[in-house]
Amino acid sequence: MSTQVPKSETDAEAETETEESPGDQRRRQRDEGRSDAAERLRRETEAAPDGDEDTVHLKVFRYDPDVEGKMEPRFDDFHVPFEKGMTVLDALIYARDNYDASLTFRHSCRQAICGSDALFVNGRQRLGCKTQLADLADPVRVEPLPHAEVRKDLVVDMSHFYDQMESVEPYFQTDETPDEELAEQRQSRENREKIKMSTRCIWCGACMSSCNVAAGNNEYLGPAAINKAYRFTMDEREGEEMKEHRLRIVEQENGVWRCQTQFSCTEVCPKDIPLTEHIQELKREAVKNNLKFW
């Protein structure tokens, strides 16, 4: 004889009402997974010994204005397994994918071409994809670019930087075009060599972030925009009329004359562009353009 207590009709209805739906089950499993991931991050972070040769210690700036409890800026610690050739961007991606999916930063090409992952690493503006962890002192402190509004974690608002770049008309304009429709607009080898370095700008904003003048003067064009103006001002294919037009843009009150020749922009440029030299050459061109002999 069975000793199981038979279920009453009421008990059967209650069991049916409390039975978990597939949707509820998926949500419960998702929430449990997040809790497990957070607990794993806590255990791994606390368990990682200082000075472990197989891990690198990241101290990452965190800020989220849209989430209660994360509106106050702070630093989170991540201990990431180290591999030879690993970059700061590699470590950030690992921390995001394995520890905290909410960690936010920009990246794209991972080949120092797109300029989207410019960061402030150990007190210096650098590209995350180009900076080797082996070259940095531990812990590696990763922050958003200074002198820019932080949107979330390591992401800053680049709107002002792009506005300054656009203000110098960063596109080719010429006084004259060849008579034949398919004829090339040739440039001499010497002129190409002259402007070659200025064409390497990837719009990362590192130079603007390092510039003390730009930090205190929101109207200053900044080294990146002036370098872009140099690239076209010195291009012989545009002609003298366009050259004068571009010089009028850069010689304005908040143009080249605001530069204090601190070389900070040149020092942090990930493409080794001689930004300060270009600014000084534009100053000389502006002076010569305004000299009148009569």
pLDDT digits (tens, 9 = 90+) for 1-43: 333 434 444 444 444 444 556 566 665 665 565 555 555 555 5
What's the CA gap between 267 and 282, in Å, rounded? 19
The region that residue 4 occupies, defined by phi over 0 for left and psi between -120 and 50 for alpha, beta otherwise, is: beta
pLDDT digits (tens, 9 = 90+) for 62-116: 999 999 889 999 999 999 999 999 999 999 999 999 999 999 999 999 999 999 9
Q: What is the architecture of the domain spanning 159-176+187-290?
A: Orthogonal Bundle (1.10)
Q: Which amino acid is at 193?
A: E
Q: Which amino acid is at 46?
A: E
The residue with tokens 């900044």 is: 222
Contact 61, 142 (CB under 8 A): yes
Q: Which residues make up the CATH 1.10.1060.10 domain(s) of the chain?
A: 159-176+187-290
pLDDT digits (tens, 9 = 90+) for 197-229: 999 999 999 999 999 999 999 999 999 999 999
pLDDT digits (tens, 9 = 90+) for 121-141: 999 999 999 999 999 999 999
Mean per-residue pLDDT, 216-244: 95
Q: Give me the CATH topology for the region 52-156.
A: Ubiquitin-like (UB roll) (3.10.20)
E strand map for 91-198 = 118-121, 124-127, 140-143, 150-152, 155-156
Instruction: Show the tokens assigned to 72.
Output: 């106050």
- The predicted model scores a pTM of 0.79
What's the CA gap between 71 and 274, in Å, rounded? 39
Within 157-205, residue ranges assigned H as helices are 159-167, 189-195
Q: Which residues make up the CATH 3.10.20.30 domain(s) of the chain?
A: 52-156
Give the 3-state secondary structure percentages of the chain, helix then strand then coil, rounded to 5.
45, 10, 45
